[in-house]
Structure 1
Amino acid sequence: MKVILIDDEKAMHLIMNRMLAKVSDVEIVGSFWETATAFSYLMNHEVDVAFVDINMPRENGLEFAGRLRESGVETKLVFITSHKEYALFAYDVYAFDYIVKPVVQERLHKTIQRALGENRSKHLIQAKRESTLQNVKFSCLGGIDIQSTEGVRAKWKSSKSAELFGYLLIQKGRLVSRARLIEEMFGDMAQKNAEIYLNTTVYKLRKVLEAFGLKESLHSDSSHYALSINQVKVDFLSFEEGCRDMSMIDETNIEQAMELEQLYVGDLFGDHAFAWAWNEVERLSLMYTSFAQRLSAALLNRGDTNTAVRLLTKLMAHNELDEESFMLLMRALALQENKEALTRQYLQYAETLHKEIGMEPSREAADLYAQLLSDELES
């Protein structure tokens, strides 16, 4: 069990170290003389129990505990003080225990054993949860979500924790520096506030991942973070890999291609307009457009015009100015011998072009429309 000490008196550090050394299964992972550094540590590390002195300068133990609870940290807090009158206030901030100085070995031992017992129960529950949540999927096309095959979905603690998840996910397991995260996600804040906010956001993301047995997938050290994706399926990575594997679409893989197209339910992160993600959103959008156009052409070659029209209509909704998609749609409507829809589509496209960018359809598009209309009239 990992514990830390927070006390402004050197003597108490010596006493607690000596007494805790006599208790098995306890590891002191940090000793702090004030609350600021202890708070930062707890936001980035898992600690089972914090022994906290109440009477400290600048910020006392109770104020520190209140701030910790507001940030969502659930580390067990054991207050150590010379004053019994603080006991009721201590339990207001969900204290695990309250020990009055001088600390007695037997009393400390009971507190530790009770904490160890609760930890064992927690680990058993966690192990059971992990065994039932083996298949987890990260979904970022059309939104941001985490889902298990058992129907469990992420309950985001804050919008920033979802954003941090997306940011780390597109790094594909690579380390990202704290400085870069602060600049790109919290750049509009003062440096000190940004650092605190990042710590809080990391903690909240860990709690979300913990619900899926993936708490350890978020790696961190003093200056870097990374999200491991080895244990999960990631929709946009599966889509990207599938597109690379199907540079050509024909009768041998057209059904597989249609299944892959269904993965792209929307642009990366959906309506979340993250400035740091624009390049990646655009890259995947262009990849989808190219893939869907190749699939549409293969469907037309097969003679499945109805499916091709549905897909091309979806493509035009995705990017209403894309000329290649528009020309494929005109060909598909002509093959359906749907003169009315062909004319309506051309006029709508011309109107959109003029309204959005002040241009007319290209000569190639206009000539194709005229040719298809003429062929339709002759038939």
Structure 2
Amino acid sequence: MKAILIDDEKPALQHLERLLAKDGRLEISGKYTSARLGLQHLQQERADIVFLDIGMPEMNGLEAAEHIAVLDRSIRVVYITAYSEYAIEAFELNAIDYLLKPVTSQRLGKTLERLESREKQSAREAESATEERALSILGFKRLEFLDTSEPGKKLQWRTSKAQQVFALLLHNRGQWMLKDTIVDLVWPDFRPEKAVTNLHTTVYHIRKLLKTWGMDVLVEFSQERYRLTYKNVSFDVEEFVRGWRGTPVETDQEWASRDKVLSLYRGDYLAEHHYDWAEPKRKELQTAYVQMALRSAEYELGSARPREALARLISLQEIDPYSEDICRLVLRSYADLGDFIGFRKHYEKYKALLHSELGVHPGSLIDSWVQKVL
């Protein structure tokens, strides 16, 4: 395996080079005192491992690791730090291991054994046959991952911030987001330096989780920006938007097709997470759902299925309890069922709600229609 060394301290660079040469398991294809020079090397020649100092001027090791991931995500990173208080934090980043200065031959040997073990594991995973499975990301009600090959498997986020950063990138899927924008939305009260460090750590955990799940989802980094892309993975919000129709339903086949789309809506978009930045999208999707469901209820009433329409409309009224359109169709369902007691009770309840909550009365048209029916 080929390795390059990056450390702004020449004595430390030479010391590590001597230890690796003595061990003999790695071929050193380059050593550099700046991250930019090391990245230029990787643009021209592939390496399997990068030994990377964390504390460097111009570009620190955490930033450099993001650029390395863009160039080749298979490159292993071993962080090097002179400060023990950074050791755990470094290990949690996109690294296979960390080394504290001064590096000893014994500690380096453990790192190399870990590297060899990881390479063997990757080879076994590549050789093993994978069964057919469908992977899904769910955004309605709560953020979840589904794997048809393991139905009971649940995603365990390392932190709530990791979940929020993933949700934010998913919300803006395919679009580049400035690092500063993400930081301002997720860590608004943190000092910029600490917030950026948290972002690097969080992105690492997200990538690790996605790799564990075997999902073809990438968190990419370029020019101080991140974006999320995916393939071979379905997203319920995307499927809902693609299948949405606001026009009247004409046939049973069309009704069945739309019902499948409506069934994707398990609840409001990311409702259980209460992200402020998701609120406009939540309202937009909720309005779209209500409009499409109303068209289906109208078709059910027009095709003599008032009981199905009533169940759908009662559910819609929980989302928008003040809607006169929904109330009118609920009353029509009761009338078609011949349930005029239910008709009267529902309208009286609707009138009381408008009066107590909004201080208004139903419109004259619906009120006169109700009196005529009764």
In the TM superposition, residue 187 of structure 1 has moved relative to its aligned partner by: 2.0
**Alignment partner of 2:61 out of 38, 55, 61:** 38
Secondary structure (helix, strand or coil) at the match of 2:78 reads strand
1:300 maps to a residue whose letter is L
Aligned pairs for 1:194-213 within 5 A? 194-213=195-214
Matched, 1:67 2:89: yes
Name the structure 1 match of 2:165.
164
Q: Which residue of 2 aligns with 1:377?
A: none
CA distance in structure 1 between the partners assigned to 2:244 and 2:194 by the alignment: 42
- Of 22, 32, 36 in structure 1, the residue corresponding to residue 27 of structure 2 is 22
> How many Å apart are 1:121 and its aligned residue?
2.7
User: In structure 1, what is the equivalent of residue 41 of structure 2?
Assistant: none
Identity %: 21
Deviation readout 1:9-43 (Å, 9 max, x if unpaired): 31332454585673588545464372792245457
Aligned counterpart, 1:225:
226
> Which residue is 1:147 aligned to?
146
Cα distance, 1:280 vs. partner? 0.4
Separation of aligned partners in 2, 1:28 and 1:264 = 45
Name the CA shift for 1:341/1:51 in 2 (closer, same or farther; >3 Å). Answer: closer
Tell me the SS of whatever aligns to 2:327. helix
Cross-structure match for 1:10:
10
What secondary structure does 1:211 align onto?
Answer: helix
Aligned partner letter, 1:34: G
Please say if residues 3 and 51 of structure 1, whose CA atoms lie closer than 8 Å, have aligned partners that are also in contact.
Answer: no
Gaps of 5+ in 1: 85-96, 100-107, 374-379
**One-letter amino acid of the structure 2 residue matched with residue 250 of structure 1:** E
Q: Which is worse superposed, 122-131 or 153-162?
A: 122-131
Judging changes above 3 Å, is the alpha-carbon distance between structure 1 residues 372 and 157 closer, same or farther for their aligned structure 2 residues?
farther
Query: Which residue is 1:76 aligned to?
Result: 97
CA shift in 2, pair 1:176/1:27, >3 Å = same
Q: Are residues 1:352 and 2:353 paired?
A: yes
Unaligned runs of 5+ in 2: 30-45
Paired amino acid for 1:63 = E
- C-alpha distance in 1 between matches for 2:54 and 2:93: 23
| Paired amino acid for 2:227 | A
* Shift in Å, 1:271: 1.9
SS in 2 for 1:220: strand
Q: How does 1:306-345 map to 2 (within 5 A)?
A: 306-345=307-346
Cα distance, 1:68 vs structure 2: 2.6
Amino acid at match of 1:22: E
Q: Determine helix, strand or coil for the equivalent of 1:228.
A: strand
TM-score by length of 1: 0.80
TM-superposed deviation, 1:115: 4.0
Q: How many residues align?
A: 343
The list of structure 1 runs, each at least 4 consecutive aligned residues, that deviate by more than 6 angstroms after superposition, is none
Aligned positions of 1:48-67 closer than 5 A: 48-50=76-78, 52=80, 56=82, 60=83, 62-67=84-89
Q: State the 1:73 CA deviation.
A: 5.3
What's the offset of the Cα at 1:290?
Answer: 0.3
